[in-house]
Amino acid sequence: MQTTKTISQHPIAPTQVVQTTAFVNNQPYTIIPGETILSFLRRHFGNDTVPTLCDAPNLEPFGSCRVCSVDVALTANGSTKAQASCHTPVMAGSYIYPDSDRIQQLRKNIIELVLTDHPLDCLTCEVNNNCELQTVAARVGIREVRYPDGKNHLYKKHEKDHSHPYMTSDFSKCINCFRCVRACDEVQGQFVLSMAGRGFDSHIVKGQDVSFNDSDCVSCGACAQACPTSAISDVFESKSIVYDKKVRTVCTYCGVGCNLEVAVRADKIKSIQAPVNAAANGGHTCLKGRYAFSFHNHGDRLQSPLIKRNGVFETATWDEAYEYIAERLTQIKNQYGPDAIGGISSARCTNEENYIMQKFIRAVIGTNNIDSCARVCHSPTALGMQRTFGTGAATNSIIDLEYTDCIMVIGANPTDAHPVTGAKIKQAALKGKTLIIIDPRKTELVKYAQYHLQLKPGTNVALLNMMLFYIIKEQKEDKDFIASRTEGYDAFKQQMLNLNMDEMEAITGVPKELVRDAAIAYASANNAMSFHGLGVTEHSQGTFTVMQIADLAMITGNIGRRGVGVNPLRGQNNVQGAADMGCQPHQGAGYLDVTLPEYHKKYESFYGVNLPQHAGLKIPQMYDAALNQKFKALWVIGEDMAQTDPNTQHVVKAIEQLDLFIVQELFMTETSKLAHVILPGASFLEKSGTFTNGERRIQRVNAVVDPLPGTKTDGRIITDIMNKMGYKQADFDAPTLLNEIAQIVPFFAGVTWDNLGENGKQWPVLPDGSDTEILHTDTFKRGLGKFIYSDWRESDEIRKHGKEYPYIITTNRELEHYNCGTMTRRTRNAHILTEDVLLICAEDAAKHFIADGDMVCVESPRGKVDIKAKITDQVKPGVLSSTFHFPEIMLNNITSNERDTDAFCPEYKVVACNIRKSKGKYKNQPAV
Amino acid sequence: MPTKLLLNNEHIPGINTLQVYRNNGGYASVEKALKQMTPEAIVEEVKISGLRGRGGAGFPTGMKWSFLAKPAGVPRYLVCNADESEPGTFKDRYLMEKIPHLLVEGMITSSYALGCNTAYIYIRGEYFYVSRILENAIAEAYAAGYLGSNILGTGYNLNLYVQVGGGAYICGEETALLESLEGKRGNPRIKPPFPAIAGLYGCPTVVNNVETIAAVVPIVNNGGEAYSKIGIGKSTGTKLISASGHINKPGVYEIELGIPVEEFIYSDSYCGGIRNGKQLKAVVAGGSSVPVLPTELILKTAAGQPRLMSYESLSEGGFQTGTMLGSGGFIVMDEDTSIVKNLYTFTRFYHHESCGQCSPCREGTGWMEKIMHKILDGHGTLKDVDLLWDIQSKIEGKTICPLGEAAAWPVAAAIRHFRHEFEAYVMQPSSIKDVKHYYRLNNIEPIPA
């Protein structure tokens, strides 16, 4: 068609006189420039003032349903024109009549038309009583549908789709509002759902018109949450489930810290939704947060303490277990001294539980042998950023993604491992922001990136040095920032300029021109922010790499304002908190050095006991000490070291040397099988406390249901044993303990249970309760930021074994499963991703006559495993990659003892290996 | 002899080649614009000329051009809307087929005036053969140095591309066109922002009809002043009219705006009167979407003045007694024509072409067709006529794009001026004895009784 009437749609007339009011039913109301009529009306008259169908809180205005139309006139009672309020900006001085007779009639007609193609089977519909169409129809008062019977889409072609473990659809209920399509595009960025056909035949299709199961759907559930009817829903009927109460809490999986709203009926958890007003996730979450909760009452849950006698676990009462533990610990302490005992706290537990665990180890046992799984993930981040900036946490917030111009992702795969942040990065890239990916793998984000520096694993330092070299050489550094905020630059610059780029190019395998372009793009952006993950830290030079990322931020002045900074993507829900709470052998609660006399004294007076003044053992040192018979007892909360720590045989051997091995767990894991005592803990849905997410946001976790019969919350277990061993510790109560924490952790000073509210606070929280979105705005924590040069050094793993084992295998994660899968494998996620596979490129596969789906034997100096091959272009020749979500594979049988030189984080990402086609002989080799 | 500015050379053999076109004064506007004029001066000339958009809306072109945002470092685009799919309209096809270089020349001159270095011609899918004609012309223009880099040594660069659409009427709506050009589903965008601020790929964009862009050529050659003297009042210049229906000489005519409708229908210079000596019954003056007018209102206004072929005169009286010049698709119906059947054809078309984005149009166009089908089949009631009226009134002006109105207007006008015919169909089913023949001709499945 040709445009016929644009002239009649009066464009927004420039107002001569600045007016800040518009009239509603001839009464003046203030307007905010740029807001839509709908938000203007909602602001003044509440959310229900105008009925809508296609509008959704976390989606852009779309204007397809037209139900939100209001009459707009240029003069009082003047001639009106119906305008869709959701996308029309409110014009100063205009006269709005939101409920005129004409508009009521129009709305009625629209809904009537929609109902001609909608099954009127409300009573048996999933969303009965909770359906937006139903609500709007009732509101506008439809009494009859005047249209004759005719062709419609109710029984034709649209069969219900139950193919997927979670997602369901019944498109006879679809009202073509496009909300699911927009959620898929604008929130998740997956582009699975789209509208096919034209006009009356418009209909939603998944992928190329396939089922949910066959589509590329990532089951984030955004479409189901967005759909106003039951056209798209999920097996839990999340949006319409009848519930007794909804409890807001925080997700237990990754460090994004999504807020969840859990619906409970008769003390059973029915479904989970993502609250729209959540600062961390704004109405979005992933399939783990939304759907993978059924582990919590899975039949495998441990529901009684177990004591191993003669090699067999026997159930025991809690009193028996406490008695046994207290007696054995006291005996070991007396015989070998407190340093023969240690604890590994859990990043899955709350701040309060981590705090109490380290307090138990330090104040009751009397040793600093306390560590947490931060050791095996982001310990180099904490150390590296402490050295350069003075504090080891993310400098900025996720919301800064909206303000940045350039995003650099190094060694991280957020669309799989931090899905909500990953989706936001994807959205930013789709909006045209520069995206630089440094990763040996072609991750999903690479599709959206301008630059992909596909380096050889283990050459991070060399590559980042190349970037720093080019920034200096092309004089793209921020001289003012360097002069006023940093130190050590001159020496740093000198060493940089001595580097030979051709050598570096050969080392990293990335063309130097590409590195230069990416470096210039990062340095030239007005605001550039970096994200990094375990691809940075889990290396022998992890700490150095983190320092270089900090160097890059400092040299370009990208610190201390909106849209910049160094932002580690923390792996676990509370790994930030575990370290904050002092679950580290050298620093107590609040990162105060336990070896310094002033802090030592402070802790002693606070805990009221004498404390050791020497640093304790890190996790790998505990294993070594155990093998040397110096370390006798270990208490572990919620960590499966036997499946996740590298070099399984070594770990298992060390654990087997222990006299007492206590494990607090939800399930019988590879590690708990080795325990002398197992104490059944409680999941996040059964406890209250706080988690601190990757952007330092302390958020309240609220117990949704009581702990399963026979289980106790982890904090309570530790408190019980503290009292049992003679330390007076008040009953475990999260708000009380949070007050205690606020007194000792400087950056928690202003935190109270009540003032955290729904969205929590980002530390440091000042005594007056104000929190901090951006760190280092005026000065660094350590005063001046410090430039530290690091030279690239080949990992010992490659130097020692590279000739004999020419391939490098690196480990990664998949969206559907979380770490060793203890929880996710006990949900329907296991139906979506069923096994670990070996990613191998076609060239390497051909060389070894391996076809897609063949079993491959991967052999390293430590051992062998058999994995099914998946031929892909995600990896380059010579590089392999796999996950360790499933105990059937036990990939850590082949990973090494190499670790970060400074922070002792294991080198999971560079393992020398060899491959051959196998018959599956080395499959199913349990750790024990 | 009528003034001709666009089609004056249409009968010269080989005018579709660059050689012949240039020998007849072609590409003079490019030479003049690039070498002697500033872009601002050209925009000024277009403003002076009073040229109005020839796609249908009739928005002043110079004003549209001056709205174009010019932020630094952001490309601007000119997009030619050649998605001519309004039923009854075929003037752009004729122009592009006969004198493709006129459009290419207009694109170069206009792009220069707007500061665009990339321009697109979005042509409807059914005109695939015309796209080849355009491609040939563009290739010739590149070879002659009128396109590409450093055009005529002036340092101005322009690349011109032809994009063939997928066959959707909606893609003639400028924002749906831009979506389609970007490779997306052709759904209209919500406005604001208008394309002049954020159009193609989010950059400032002007979308103009083929004829509008072609008219820039004589304006630059002869000056805006000379152009504004042609025509009548605010309807300046000449207009291509696609005349079809029951007339002796259907075809494309270039008229000076302001000639009487009666002259256009009956003069031998134009339509040559009604076919077979029949009487005139009604006219759809500007493409299928504009209101149909009965003889008495198309020849004379309600005030008794002669109706003229101009924007103002045709719309005089509003939709109660007037219509629109629209795209210039002039459909003439003789006394034997059934308005009900004619309307059914139109409703079928709009039902088929609604994009499905807005509920009133998606569902409403469908029901209008279904109800028309019911009436034609003799199953209709008087209530159905009222329902038709009700639906159209709830579509008009209540959708994102003007397609909703385009679908509603013909229904409203047919009922307004020919309600008795609908009543006859409803009340006297015998009057529809010829309907089976009509169905057979149009390949329609009757509704089972």
In this prediction, residue B93 carries a pLDDT of: 96
Q: Which residues pair with A783 in a beta bridge?
A: A780
End-to-end CA distance of chain B: 57
pLDDT band at A525 (very low <50, low <70, confident <90, very high): very high
In this prediction, residue B208 carries a pLDDT of: 97
Partner B contacted by A33 (CB < 8 A): no
User: Cβ–Cβ of B357/A147 closer than 8 Å?
Assistant: no
Mean pLDDT of B380-407: 90
Q: For A181-225, write each residue's pLDDT tens digit.
A: 999 999 999 999 999 988 888 899 999 999 999 999 999 999 999
In this prediction, residue B435 carries a pLDDT of: 60
Q: Any alpha helices (H) in A809-868, and if so which ranges?
A: 829-832, 842-847
In this prediction, residue A241 carries a pLDDT of: 87
**φ/ψ (deg, to 5) at A75:** -130, 165
Q: For A98-119, write each residue's pLDDT tens digit.
A: 999 999 999 999 999 888 888 8
Q: For B124-144, write each residue's pLDDT tens digit.
A: 999 999 999 999 999 999 999
Q: For A448-457, write each residue's pLDDT tens digit.
A: 999 999 999 9
In this prediction, residue A15 carries a pLDDT of: 45
Worst-scoring range by mean pLDDT, A482-491, A877-886, B420-429?
B420-429
Compare B324 and A11 and report the one with higher pLDDT. B324
**pLDDT exceeds cutoff 70 at A607:** yes
Mean pLDDT of A599-617: 94
Q: Percent of chain B at pLDDT above 90? A: 83
In this prediction, residue A14 carries a pLDDT of: 44
Between CA A488 and CA A511 the distance in angstroms is: 29
**φ/ψ (deg, to 5) at A734:** -55, -50
Cα–Cα–Cα angle for A878, A883, A884, rounded to 5 degrees: 130
What is chain A's mean pLDDT, rounded? 91
In this prediction, residue A201 carries a pLDDT of: 86
In this prediction, residue A403 carries a pLDDT of: 94
Helix, strand, coil percentages (3-state) for chain B, rounded to 5, are 50, 15, 35
Partner A contacted by B196 (CB < 8 A): no
Convert B61-85 to b/e letters by CB count within 10 Å (16 or more is b): bbebbeebbeeeeeebbbbbbbbbb
Convert B96-105 to b/e letters by CB count within 10 Å (16 or more is b): bbbbbbbbbb
In this prediction, residue B76 carries a pLDDT of: 96
User: Cβ–Cβ of A5/B287 closer than 8 Å?
Assistant: no
Q: For A387-423, write each residue's pLDDT tens digit.
A: 999 988 999 999 999 999 999 999 999 999 999 999 9
Compare A423 and A920 and report the one with higher pLDDT. A423
Nearest to B209 among A2, A63, A178 (CB): A2
- List own/partner pairs for A101-105 with CB under 8 A and 24 or more apart: A102/A71, A103/A69, A103/A70, A103/A71, A104/A140, A105/B394
In sequence order, what are the residues at sequence separation of 6 or more whose Cβ sits closer than 8 angstroms to the Cβ of residue A572?
A253, A254, A255, A347, A348, A373, A377, A819
- Could you tell me if the ipTM is greater than 0.90? no
B residues 331..390 contacting A (CB < 8 A): 351-367, 370-371, 374, 383-384, 387, 390
- Residue A609's Cβ-count burial label (10 Å; 0-12, 13-18, 19+) is middle
User: Cβ–Cβ of A81/B406 closer than 8 Å?
Assistant: no
Between CA A464 and CA A455 the distance in angstroms is: 11
Residue type, A366: G
In this prediction, residue A153 carries a pLDDT of: 67
**pLDDT exceeds cutoff 60 at A138:** yes
Q: Which residues pair with A598 in a beta bridge?
A: none
In this prediction, residue A155 carries a pLDDT of: 60
pLDDT band at B1 (very low <50, low <70, confident <90, very high): low
Q: For A155-177, write each residue's pLDDT tens digit.
A: 655 678 999 999 999 998 999 99
* Shortest CA gap B208–chain A (Å): 10
Residue type, A834: T
Task: Find out whether the peptide bond into A861 is cis, omega within 30 degrees of 0.
Answer: no
**pLDDT exceeds cutoff 70 at B439:** no
Q: For A29-72, write each residue's pLDDT tens digit.
A: 999 988 999 999 999 999 889 999 999 988 999 999 999 999 99
In this prediction, residue A17 carries a pLDDT of: 45
The DSSP letter of residue A100 is: -
Contact present, A192 and A207 (Cβ < 8 Å):
yes
In this prediction, residue A4 carries a pLDDT of: 38
Q: Percent of chain A at pLDDT above 70? A: 96
Q: Which residues pair with B122 in a beta bridge?
A: B81, B163
Contact present, B357 and B340 (Cβ < 8 Å):
no
**pLDDT exceeds cutoff 60 at B172:** yes
Q: Which residues pair with B260 in a beta bridge?
A: B308
- Give the A:B interface size as CB pairs under 8 Å: 166
Six-digit token pair at B244? 């079809």
Closest Cα in chain A to B81: A2
What is chain B's mean pLDDT, rounded? 92
Q: For A634-651, write each residue's pLDDT tens digit.
A: 999 999 988 888 888 889
DSSP 3-state assignment of A71?
strand
Q: Which of A721, A715, A710 is nearest to A688 (CA)?
A: A715
pTM over 0.90: no
Q: Are strands A486-487 and A245-250 parallel, antiparallel or unpaired?
A: unpaired
- Residue B266 falls in which region: left (phi positive, over 0), alpha (psi -120 to 50) or beta: alpha
Between CA B86 and CA B65 the distance in angstroms is: 24
* Shortest CA gap A200–chain B (Å): 5
Between CA B95 and CA B105 the distance in angstroms is: 13
Element at A354 (helix H, strand E): helix A351-359
User: Cβ–Cβ of B190/A197 closer than 8 Å?
Assistant: no
CA distances from B342 to A429, A603, B347, B364, B418 (A): 51, 92, 9, 18, 12
Helix, strand, coil percentages (3-state) for chain A, rounded to 5, are 35, 20, 50
**pLDDT exceeds cutoff 60 at B447:** no
CA distances from A853 to A31, A837, B44, B245, B445 (A): 62, 9, 69, 67, 53
User: Cβ–Cβ of A1/B192 closer than 8 Å?
Assistant: no
**pLDDT exceeds cutoff 60 at A690:** yes
Convert A190-202 to b/e letters by CB count within 10 Å (16 or more is b): bebbbbeebbbbb
Element at A195 (helix H, strand E): strand A193-196
Between CA A311 and CA A788 the distance in angstroms is: 52
**Strands in B109-217 per DSSP E:** 118-123, 148-151, 156-164, 205-209
In this prediction, residue A376 carries a pLDDT of: 86
Between CA A687 and CA A671 the distance in angstroms is: 23
Convert A872-881 to b/e letters by CB count within 10 Å (16 or more is b): bebbbeebbb
Q: Are strands A406-410 and A864-871 parallel, antiparallel or unpaired?
A: unpaired
End-to-end CA distance of chain A: 73
- Residue B316 falls in which region: left (phi positive, over 0), alpha (psi -120 to 50) or beta: beta
**pLDDT exceeds cutoff 80 at B393:** yes
**pLDDT exceeds cutoff 70 at B273:** yes
Contact present, A904 and A619 (Cβ < 8 Å):
yes
Nearest to B359 among A64, A198, A201 (CB): A64
Mean pLDDT of A256-260: 95
Partner B contacted by A109 (CB < 8 A): yes
**pLDDT exceeds cutoff 60 at A248:** yes
Q: For A583-595, write each residue's pLDDT tens digit.
A: 999 999 999 999 9
- Residue A757 falls in which region: left (phi positive, over 0), alpha (psi -120 to 50) or beta: left
Six-digit token pair at A839? 């990613």
Among B367, B389, B390, B400, the residue to mutate for chain A (most A Cβ within 10 A): B367
Chain A CB contacts of B362 under 8 Å are: 176, 199-200, 202
Six-digit token pair at B441? 């001709």
Mean pLDDT of B346-363: 92
In sequence order, what are the residues at sequence separation of 6 or more whose Cβ sits closer than 8 angstroms to the Cβ of residue B441?
none
In this prediction, residue B441 carries a pLDDT of: 65
Q: Percent of chain A at pLDDT above 90? A: 80
CA distances from A483 to A476, A554, A555, A776 (A): 14, 11, 10, 16
- Residue A530 falls in which region: left (phi positive, over 0), alpha (psi -120 to 50) or beta: beta
In this prediction, residue A157 carries a pLDDT of: 54
Handedness of CA A376, A377, A383, A384 (dihedral sign): positive
Six-digit token pair at B241? 């009219």
The DSSP letter of residue A815 is: T
DSSP 3-state assignment of B320?
helix
Closest Cα in chain A to B448: A150
- Residue A473's Cβ-count burial label (10 Å; 0-12, 13-18, 19+) is middle
* Shortest CA gap B304–chain A (Å): 26
Mean pLDDT of A711-739: 94
